[in-house]
Amino acid sequence: MGGIGAAPPPPKVQQSRIRQGGNVQAAKLINRVQPSYPPLARQTRIQGTVRLHAIIGKDGAVKELTLESGHPLLVQAALDAVRQWRYQPTLLNGEPVEVDTTIDVIFTLNQ
């Protein structure tokens, strides 16, 4: 007795955070603050990369920032600079979304 009716539409999933990579376009940096080279690191000739995990908010501001790796003398300078960075909001289907990404801050001494 039961007829076949139209299946209900699938639930609409609202994605609030996307992971950068694959088909997701890189977040566009619009204001980059250069880190200050820490004097002690410069004196001891320490160079290297500080890798940070970041959540970029819907407004383009760095919302969360955590350390993944890097020399202890370089970490604070990298954190202080990247916290001030601003990105163009990333859109998914016309709506702003948060972006989960990794940022590398490279410290090199001029020879």
Q: Do the domain assignments include residue 8?
A: no
Number of domains, the chain: 1
Tell me: the pLDDT tens digits for 12-25?
434 455 665 544 55
Question: Which whole number is the average pLDDT over 5-34?
Answer: 61
DSSP state of 32: -
Tell me: the pLDDT tens digits for 62-102?
999 999 999 999 999 999 999 999 999 988 878 889 999 99
pTM: 0.76
Q: Do the domain assignments include residue 2?
A: no
Q: Do the domain assignments include residue 41?
A: yes
Residue-level pLDDT at 4: 53
Domain carrying residue 43: 17-107
> In this model, does residue 47 exceed pLDDT 90?
yes
Q: Do the domain assignments include residue 1?
A: no
Q: Which residues pair with 24 in a beta bridge?
A: 21
Q: Which residues contact 20 (CB under 8 A, 6 or more apart)?
A: 26, 27, 99, 100, 101, 102
Q: List the CATH number of the domain containing 67.
A: 3.30.2420.10
